């Protein structure tokens, strides 16, 4: 269900809190762009890697305490590393291991560790599907903060009564079931497209980290007002 914006008469949200939310989002996305340092690994038994990975996956699916299984898998990956890693295990197994580690950290709301694991996952298999999954994982905590602050609504196009027929970012149609965000000016966009806009706008501005300028891409109305 879409969350309502703050009304004009309500007390304004804390500007520093808004800047902090944007900074967290931008820092998470920067991690995903940095794929240069993937680990290498051991010529140790594939049986152990499969065991720890499957065990962690089972805990994640049951929403149980995955702490010990996660520690075992992390310890195995960190302490059996050499140049034979990808040759011995193959990229698919390693991608799967780090993906489940990311999921485990995400369930504890540890965004920094979750995005670190996704960064390594992307190093092994940087395909479009993994990039999309990674982007969604790191944007969600920041998205919730921005909605809570009343900066915009989020939900399906139908829930938000968005009357825009096309997203100005991707030039694709907006369907009723599409996840979207809507600014105070009532313009709506695909959620992923809009969040990328929030991250990229002002990227070359030295003030971006301290006070990122954010405007609606359709009418240039200020988002922070």
> Is the pTM higher than 0.85?
no
Check whether 70 has a pLDDT greater than 80.
yes
The stretch 80-104 carries a mean pLDDT of 73
Q: What would the mean pLDDT of 87-91 be, rounded to a whole number?
A: 66
> What does each C-alpha distance from 55 to 49, 50, 76 come to in angstroms?
10, 8, 13
The parent domain of residue 63 ranges over 15-150
As for how many domains the chain has, the answer is: 1
pLDDT tens profile 125-171: 666 566 666 656 655 566 666 777 777 788 888 888 887 788 887 88
The mean predicted confidence, pLDDT, of the chain is: 69
Please tell me the predicted confidence (pLDDT) of residue 208.
Answer: 39
CA distances to 61, 70, 160, 183, 189 from 4, in Å: 32, 38, 10, 11, 16
The closest of 170, 203, 202 to 189, measured between CA atoms, is 170
| CB burial readout 75-97, b (16+ within 10 A) else e | ebbeebeeeebbebbeeebbbbb
**Residue 177: pLDDT band with limits 50, 70, 90:** confident
Q: Is the pLDDT of residue 14 over 80?
A: no
Query: Distance between CA atoms of 36 and 27, rounded to whole angstroms?
Result: 16
Q: Are strands 188-190 and 179-183 parallel, antiparallel or unpaired?
A: antiparallel
Establish if 140 belongs to a structural domain. yes
Asked if residue 131 is part of any domain, the answer here is: yes
114 confidence band (pLDDT: 50, 70, 90): confident
CA of residue 38 relative to chain centroid, distance: 19
**181 occurs within a structural domain:** no
Residue 124, in any domain of the structure: yes
Is 136 within the bounds of a domain?
yes
CA dist., res. 91 & res. 76, Å (int): 16
- Kindly state the percentage of the chain with pLDDT values over 70: 54
Mean pLDDT of 91-95: 78
40 in a domain, yes or no? yes
41 domain-assigned:
yes
Distance CA 12, CA 31 (A): 31
In the chain, % of residues over pLDDT 90: 0
**Three-class SS of residue 127?**
coil
pLDDT at position 128, please? 59
Q: pLDDT grade, residue 186 (50/70/90)?
A: confident
Q: Is residue 222 part of a domain?
A: no
């Amino acid at each position: 269900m879409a969350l309502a914006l703050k009304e004009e008469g309500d007390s304004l949200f804390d500007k520093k809190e808004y800047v902090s939310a944007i900074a967290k989002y931008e820092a998470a996305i920067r991690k995903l762009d940095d794929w240069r340092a993937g680990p290498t690994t051991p010529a140790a038994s594939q049986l152990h890697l499969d065991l720890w990975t499957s065990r962690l996956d089972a805990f994640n699916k049951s929403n149980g305490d995955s702490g010990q299984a996660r520690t075992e898998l992390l310890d195995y990956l960190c302490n059996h590393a050499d140049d034979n890693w990808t040759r011995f295990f193959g990229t698919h197994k390693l991608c799967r291991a780090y993906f489940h580690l990311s999921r485990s950290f995400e369930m504890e709301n540890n965004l920094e560790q979750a995005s670190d694991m996704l960064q390594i996952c992307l190093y092994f298999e940087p395909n479009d599907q993994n990039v999309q999954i990674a982007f969604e994982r790191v944007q969600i905590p920041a998205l919730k903060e921005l909605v809570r602050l009343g900066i915009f609504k989020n939900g399906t196009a139908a829930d938000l009564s968005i009357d825009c027929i096309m997203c100005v970012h991707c030039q694709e149609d907006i369907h009723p079931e599409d996840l979207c965000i809507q600014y105070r000016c009532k313009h709506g966009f695909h959620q992923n497209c809009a969040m990328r806009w929030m991250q990229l706008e002002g990227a070359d501005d030295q003030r971006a980290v301290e006070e990122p300028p954010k405007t609606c891409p359709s009418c240039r109305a200020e988002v922070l007002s």
